[in-house]
Structure 1
Amino acid sequence: MADSVTTRLLDTTAESTIESLASGLGYASRSPILRTPMNQGLGYEDVSYPSSDGVPLEGWFIPSEGSTKLIVCMHAFGFNRYGFPSHIEPWKSAFGPGNDTEIDFNLDYKVLHDAGYNVLAFDFRNCGLSGDANGNRMSNNRFETRDVIGTLNYIRSRSDLSSMTLGIFARCMGASVTFRAIHSDPRVFDDVACLVAPLLLSPRVFVEATLESAGLSEYVDEVDRRFQLLTSKPLADGNVSDWAPSVTMPTMTYGVYDDAITRPYDLEEAYVSLGATEKEMFWIEDATARWDAYKYFQRHPKRILEWFDTHMK
């Protein structure tokens, strides 16, 4: 009887984890915008413009007086332009131990602004306050590439922004989306001077790491099967290293070496595969929380600012 109950409980746990991973990756979930640039004393303009397929996107333009340089900032999966409210539930429990303090990207925008950069930050479709699209599905960043292209088109449509030197600071999903967008339409990025793309992550690697930590490694293919039923694509369609050869502008990336929800080889393979001749990668060590990488720039801005300064002269 005890063995039967144990088996039944294990099956229930496995089912819950498998379904949560498949649906969690296949469908977008919105998190609230709790702060604005005004919380850091920054003036800003609310902006709205269409993605390349017409989905309405919402964002902030934060001007830096006298500057002719603009950095486009892109957020991570489940986040929005503000960041992520992981200091309160249900978001506090979303990404595991250590990833449970607030992420406020307005601190990053303050650093960039004070360093002489204009900033444009926006919500991807199905995130923040941007429009619903594609049945709320997130299929290995295929749809979100249209948001990146739409953002660059919007910048070029504004007479006050179109001649600015462009850089991109894109984290996690934002970084992967940018890689895929460059791969799909490289000409759109001809005038982008450089890219900072931390926390690149392939979805199958995330699933493998998550199931391994739960003692359920044998169910990777089952998660993949269910994800494909939801999105029409397998997890492997999101492998970042497949798009990296198309990324030829100067590119910096970094991550947490002991990040519990990924594996170092995934980021390393993407870095090696980069088509850029000018590239840089570093690890944040003595940490296991992915959140340490999200907060790295606001805590230690020098190295990344030097990258932007060098390539956006």
Structure 2
Amino acid sequence: MALNLEELGIKPVGLDAVRPFAVEGLDVRGRSVALGPILQKILGRHDYPEPVSRLLAEAIVLTSLLGTSLKFDGRFTLQTQTQGPVSMLVVDFETPDAIRACATFDAERVVGLIDAGTATPEALLGHGHLAMTIDQGKHMQRYQGLVELNGISLEEVARRYFERSEQIPTEVRLAVGELYTRQDGDAPVKSWTGGGLLIQFLPEAPERMRQADIDPGDAPEGAVRHFIDEDDAWVEAKALVDTVKDVELTDPEVSVETLLYRLFHERGVRLFDAQPIADKCRCSRDKVANVLANFSADEVEAVTVDGKIVVTCEFCSTAYEFDR
């Protein structure tokens, strides 16, 4: 029998919004997100190969989960720099709801992976690092955490970030899919969909959060490694999240609230107000003009074509045209 959330007094928030929640019986807090139109808008304006679009969509899902956790006016930026075919991903979130994203890649190398059937996210990223930057404004210090990329997934990146930077036990699930719809006998239309789930173990007693020391990698031979038994509540929470299938995160018919109820109703899940997310870019004609105003005469000449200067935003693809 289908789950009727309205009978339970739960109103689904729909797509393109992050839903914070708490499972107090397991000392867990988290956030879950389902994205649809916003992914289609961002990816639809770029002519990226399918694996690059999928990878960027996954980064957008992760940034949505992390950026909406900011409790102040500011920005959260996820950026990769690697030697892989996709040399850079940038996803930028500005409170309270604005997100934008773009990718830089070597088309020939990406096509080579596609032809070989090996265009996995890990292969596309290759080796390098991922930076997560929190900017609270020009009068506040920026915070940046780095995670090495060495053939690991973005899910694993997030786990390592919280393990090493925040020392908070964290579990993350990300998924991206393609939805095909047909109307009035027309050819199927493809659209992007994605979802994510992040939980963190935050008991009142801090000693329950203890984790094993990070292996330094250069311990002498025979050294005893440091292990700590995980808290039973955290083991249970992770086991529940491990049951989540990709289709549950990407199916628009499975709301965030439905998924959370399926997972945690026996323990009692409490939902908080959702945070909508919007496709918004910070570029403007005035900002571009201010940049061009600082160009030298030679630099202006170099970017002038047929008496015009055209600057296209890499994020939203808006073209700004100026005369010389």
Question: TM-score, normalization: structure 1?
Answer: 0.26
Question: Which structure carries more strand by proportion?
Answer: 2
Higher relative contact order (CA 8 A, sep 6+): 2
More helix by share: 1
